[in-house]
Amino acid sequence: MAKYNDLDPKKWKEYDDIYTDSLWIINKRDNSGAHKFRYHGNFVPQIAYQLLSRYTKKGDWVLDPFMGSGTTLIEAQRMGRNSIGIELQDIIAREAEERIKSENKPDINSIIITGDSKKYDISNKFKELGIESVQFIMYHPPYWDIIKFSDNNEDLSNCKTIDAFKEDFGKVIDNCNRFLENGRYCGIVIGDKYADSQITPLGSICMNLFLERGLILKAIIVKNFGNTEGKSNQQAIWRYRAMSADYYVFKHEYIMVFKKDEKKKKVK
């Protein structure tokens, strides 16, 4: 068994639900229990389920510095993983907390913090919890300014330029990855942006932030964007626009996985 998950490779035939390919087509969101909540900009719980299955063990600690509606924490709790979520907007954090607690797993810690992930000092919380590190970090930052999450200047979706977004997201990575146990993994979910007749490749830009810090790239997964209800009309319009112009309609986002390996670290 690997050091970083509970899967037994000898039983590979039994793990029908675990993805091992780099193309993920997920057409239906898991809306069960506490996941039944609409938060514009959330991801499907299956992403957290897949990554936590492959890269964590029961009892591990998972950190999500862009917690939003708490999808990662709900999934972590269900899977017997402890978790810490940081969210800038207090009201969103409190709502998530209520829903997470509604699934009531008293033996699992789900810690919710309202704060700015660029600078929140998590070490005091670690002392309180008696831990020194986390075993997985799930990054799901704003896709720069595509969705404005709040009016707060510290919100990454309010960065005025792509350079400011890079700088701020870099600060979040630095503030969090120092607590990632060596030999363990972090993942990012991110999509590109199309505006002013050109693509801003947020996927590549964010990937480079991890590579520049010496993280080892282990996976680039392409996941389809689900067709949200009531959008079929809009899709026809987008198809028409794409056909009469020179671009393709985005139907995918990326999930990338990186390993922290201090021995192999070569800062580029």
Ligand X SMILES: C[S@@+](CC[C@H](N)C(=O)[O-])C[C@H]1O[C@@H](n2cnc3c(N)ncnc32)[C@H](O)[C@@H]1O
Distance, CA of 162 to CA of 39 (rounded, Å): 24
> Do the Cβ atoms of 257 and 219 come closer than 8 Å?
yes
Contact call for residue 76 and ligand X (CB under 6 A)? no
Contact call for residue 92 and ligand X (CB under 6 A)? yes
Distances (CA, A) of 200 to 166, 206, 239: 12, 11, 20
In this structure, the number of other CB atoms found within 10 A of the CB of residue 178 comes to 11
Kindly state the number of chain residues that form the binding site for ligand X, as judged by CB under 6 A.
26
Task: In angstroms, give the least distance from the CB of 129 to ligand X.
Answer: 19
Which residue in 34, 52, 84, 86 binds ligand X (CB under 6 A)? 86
Which residue in 142, 145, 186, 215 binds ligand X (CB under 6 A)? 142
Per-residue tokens: 252: 């995918």
Which residue in 6, 95, 103, 154 binds ligand X (CB under 6 A)? 154
Distance, CA of 36 to CA of 45 (rounded, Å): 10
- Taking CB under 6 A as the criterion, which residues in 27-46 touch ligand X? 39, 41-43
Which residue in 5, 46, 49, 87 binds ligand X (CB under 6 A)? 87
Contact segment (CB under 6 A) with ligand X among 87-95, 196-204, 226-234, 239-247 equals 87-95
Compare residues 182 and 224 and give the one whose CB is closer to ligand X. Answer: 224
Distances (CA, A) of 175 to 167, 179, 226: 12, 8, 32
- Using the 8-state DSSP alphabet, how is residue 188 labeled? E
Contact call for residue 122 and ligand X (CB under 6 A)? no
Q: How many CA atoms lie within 13 A of 224 on its CB side?
A: 9
Q: ∠ CA(75), CA(134), CA(12), 5° rounding?
A: 55
Contact call for residue 88 and ligand X (CB under 6 A)? yes
Strands (E), the chain: 23-24, 61-64, 82-87, 110-114, 134-139, 180-190, 193-195, 198-200, 216-224, 252-259
Contact call for residue 165 and ligand X (CB under 6 A)? no
Task: In angstroms, give the least distance from the CB of 246 to ligand X.
Answer: 29
Task: In angstroms, give the least distance from the CB of 244 to ligand X.
Answer: 31
Contact call for residue 149 and ligand X (CB under 6 A)? yes
Per-residue tokens: 131: 């831990």
Compare residues 63 and 215 and give the one whose CB is closer to ligand X. Answer: 63
Which amino acid would we find at residue 10? K
Q: Nearest Cα to 253, choosing from 213, 206, 215, 214? A: 206
Contact call for residue 114 and ligand X (CB under 6 A)? no
Compare residues 109 and 150 and give the one whose CB is closer to ligand X. Answer: 150
Contact call for residue 140 and ligand X (CB under 6 A)? yes
Contact call for residue 95 and ligand X (CB under 6 A)? no
Q: Report the residue closest to ligand X, judged by CB.
A: 68
Contact call for residue 71 and ligand X (CB under 6 A)? yes
Q: Residues interacting with ligand X, by CB under 6 A?
A: 39, 41-43, 65-66, 68-69, 71, 86-89, 92, 116-118, 140-142, 149-150, 154-157
